[in-house]
Amino acid sequence: GQQVMQIPQYQHVQEGEDFTTYCNSSTTLSNIQWYKQRPGGHPVFLIQLVKSGEVKKQKRLTFQFGEAKKNSSLHITATQTTDVGTYFCAGPISGGSNYKLTFGKGTLLTVNP
């Protein structure tokens, strides 16, 4: 079945350093979504990318969707302690009412102040 793979599993950085997490799908995705889960919290939707080669920015966060729509990345510039959490990518399987979002295993980011 379709899989969404995400690396790295863990990333520890010093505050101010950059961070990137990568997501790869075994099949072409209609869109890719990114979520952030703070420690002890719940996943919160960050963004959705739909177009091939799309790049979107949210302040220090930059999201990219690959040309083949099979891979994506999230880059954080100059991390802050508030960036701590697990970042998940997710891609949909099937269409219509059987919409199933498959999540990558997430990248846990810890930031040393």
Site for other proteins, rule CB under 8 A? 31, 33, 35, 37, 41-45, 48, 86, 88, 90, 92, 97-103, 105-106, 108
Cα(106)–Cα(112) distance, integer angstroms: 19
Q: Write the DSSP assignment of 1-30 as a string of letters.
A: ---EEEE-SEEEEETT--EEEEEEESS--S
Identify the CA nearest to 76 among candidates 10, 17, 18: 18
CB of 83 vs other proteins, minimal distance in Å = 17
**39 or 113, CB closer to other proteins?**
39
Least distance (Å) between residue 42 CB and other proteins: 4
Please say which residue, 47 or 77, places its beta carbon nearer to other proteins.
47
